[in-house]
Amino acid sequence: MKNGLNPPFEGACLCGAVQVCVAALPFLTLACHCRGCQKFSASAFSLTTMFPSESFSVTGAMITGGLKTHGRAHYFCKSCLNFIYSQIEGADHRINLRTSVLHEAAVFEPFVEVMTDEKMPWAEVPVSHSFSQSPASLDELQSLMAAYAARYHPHL
Ligand SMILES: [Zn+2]
Ligand SMILES: [Zn+2]
């Protein structure tokens, strides 16, 4: 992401029925190589941009999908079934927006990749921090967010 990129950031699902808007800078950008994300994204990895929940607004009819595991909600456009965002119980102050939904998706380059244990061997993502599994602790996640902020919005 370029320095000076200013919120709000807008986006839409494939069919346009779901519209999103985020009024804050991201906490973090990630690529996840897990097998679940490969299936979700029909690709080699998923792209997530993590935003403060209170900065996020969404309109349009959605349904929940995925495995419907307790504490993890995955929201999809009810019409085109495009994956929009996830929210994890206990981390209610963050939403995990699928980066591809954003109009300016290309500028939210992944800063961290996770779950490289399950990575397709040919899938290379140029990131600053790489994890074989998920970051082990909340402290580790918070230090990644601090490193992300220092790199992408150092003037805050
Ligand atoms: Zn749609
Ligand atoms: Zn994943």
Per-residue pLDDT of the chain (156 residues; tens, 9 = 90+): 444 578 999 999 999 999 999 999 999 999 999 999 999 999 999 999 999 999 999 999 999 998 888 888 999 999 999 999 999 998 899 999 999 999 999 999 999 999 999 999 999 999 999 999 988 788 999 999 999 999 988 776
The verdict on residue 23 lying in a domain is: yes
CA of 9 to the centre of ligand 1 (A): 18
Specify the pLDDT at position 14.
98
Answer positive or negative: Cα dihedral of 52, 43, 20, 2. Answer: positive
Residue 3 domain flag: no
State the total domains in the chain. 1
Q: What is the CATH number of the domain that holds 146?
A: 2.170.150.70
pTM tops 0.95: no
Q: Closest ligand to 134 CA?
A: 2
Domain contains 4: no
In a domain, residue 57? The reply is yes
17 Cβ partners below 8 Å, 6+ apart? 60, 61, 77, 78, 79, 80
Question: What is the extent of the structural domain holding 108?
Answer: 9-152
Residue 148 covered by a domain: yes
Residue 71 forms part of a structural domain: yes
Instruction: State the distance from the centre of ligand 1 to the C-alpha of 137, rounded, in angstroms.
Output: 35
